[in-house]
Each structure stands twice: as structure tokens, then as C-alpha cells.
Amino acid sequence: KSDQKQKTKSEKMEQRMKYAEFVKEWNMKREDLECEDLKEMPVAIPIECRLPNEYFGDVVMIMEFFHAFRKVLPVKDFFPNGIPFDLMERALIDKEIAGPFCDILQLLLTVIFELQEQESEETKDNDIKLTPGLIFERGDDETLRIMKMCYRNGYMD
């Protein structure tokens, strides 16, 4: 009985060792072509568009930009269905006076001006106002403290 137990124990130990070695080998870094579980790449479906092939990636990048900043950019206000590829293609290829390109520019300019307005309102209260003689509008103690700090940090020689 003890021989039988020892034999099964050694077999289990051997199986564990083999499994551990297999897992170690499986997890090792190796070239893609050396992998045993490779699958065939699916056949690519060509995309029919009027854009030159070299600009396709740039257009997708622009679309990704609009998607990534959808919380800041009010795309739905200008384009209720979003900005699909065919709309981007039309904006870049067609020369429409009031077309999607104009709407995209208007969207971006609107956001720029709104963000500048927000930023100026946020920084308005924090600005330290200087008079021509470098006298701060705050009290003398505050001015002295700021001047000392500037001298210490090398901002004034």
C-alpha cells in the first residue's frame, strides 16, 4: 500500500513539474511566428472612398479626436447623428459653401471662444495687478513679502 501511495504521489509530482515547465515555457516571450496558436488573418475589406489612401489615417484620427473630446465639443448641437466617415469625406473633398467643413470650423471656433471666456473669468480674480511703479495693490506687508520671495528665487537682480 505504501509503495502504491508513493508511486501515485511521485506521478502527481511529476505531472505538476511537467505542467509547471509547460506553463513557464508558454509564458516566455517569443517571436509571433513561433507561437503555436496562430490564426489566419481575416481578409481585409477594401474601403471605397474618394480620399487618397495616404490621408485615410489622418481622417480617422480627426474622427477619433471628435469622439475623445465629445464631452467638451458640442458635436450633437451641430451634427445630431455625430460625424460619420462619409460626412468627413464630404467636408474634405466637396467644395460646398455652407457644407460640413464650414460646420466643423464653426464648432471648433465656438468651443475655442467659449473656453477662452471661461479661462479669462477664472483667472480674472487671481491676477495680481501691477501699477507702473511695481507697487502691488495689496498692503505693504504683502508687497514686501513678495519682493523678498522674488529676490530669494533669483527673479530680480
Is residue 102 domain-shared with residue 135, that is, in the same domain? no
pLDDT value of residue 25: 84
| pLDDT 10s digits, 42-81 | 998 888 899 998 999 999 999 999 999 988 898 998 899 9
pLDDT value, residue 129: 53
Residue 43 counted as domain residue: no
Examine residue 112 and state whether it is found in any structural domain, yes or no: yes
Hey, what's the cell of 19?
505542467
Residue listed under C-alpha cell 487671481: 126
- Residue 134 confidence (pLDDT): 55
* 39 assigned to some structural domain: no
At 123 the pLDDT is 73
Residues 144, 117 within the same domain:
no
Q: Which domain range does residue 64 map to?
A: 53-124
Pair 116, 70 in one domain: yes
Question: How far lies 140's CA from each of 95, 126, 150, 153, in Å?
Answer: 63, 19, 15, 20
- Average pLDDT over every residue of 18-32: 87
Instruction: Give the model's pLDDT for residue 47.
Output: 84
155: Cβ contacts below 8 Å, ≥ 6 apart: none
Q: How many domains does the chain have?
A: 3
- Mean pLDDT across 126-132: 52
pLDDT in tens, 115-125: 988 888 877 76
Q: Do 87 and 139 share a domain, yes or no?
A: no
Percent of the chain with pLDDT over 70: 81
